[in-house]
Amino acid sequence: SGYVDCDETIPVNNDTVFGIGSVTKTFTRIGIAKLVELGYLQLDTSISVYLKNIPSDKQFNTVRQLLEHRSGLPGYHEKGNLGDFETIDKAMANQRILESRLLFTPGAKYRYSNSGYTLLASIIEEVSGESYTEFRAEADMEIITNVHLFAGYRNINAEYDRNDLTFNNSFYGGMKLSF
């Protein structure tokens, strides 16, 4: 038991939806890897190839830099100091990200950035032609049915080495998932 809202003492129930925060970054990375595997996306290509109206200071950002938190984008796209808790739509989030000042030249440093992953989700939508949720639902189902290693089971139809993250099965196609 627990509360959805402690101030209002609204209890958790079977229909409560919980935010999972940065766990979604894993799914975003897998979605990008899938699009790379299919040949729809290249990691070292400018994000301006996949998204429209990218300002000139962000034209040199690549998909890889967004994945690696090396884009120079601020960590969050909130107004004020709300962290990542302000409810805004995708269009407003992207607008704020693209209007923000870069903190450093893309690729020069590492700095954790939720903003970069917001843009990656938009890239997934643009490239796949599906909403992020629809794309993830299909990709998550593929993961569940094809990758048994993470559940501790040996998939007799997959070849893998426990010391290597290269999987040779239908989903990953022998692709390394480290970027």
Q: Yes or no: say if 106 and 62 are a contact pair by the CB < 8 Å rule.
A: yes
Angle, helices 114-128/132-146, rounded to nearest 10 degrees: 90
> Catalytic annotation on 22?
yes
Q: Which of 1, 22, 100, 128 is an active site residue? A: 22
Residues annotated as catalytic (active site), given as ranges:
22
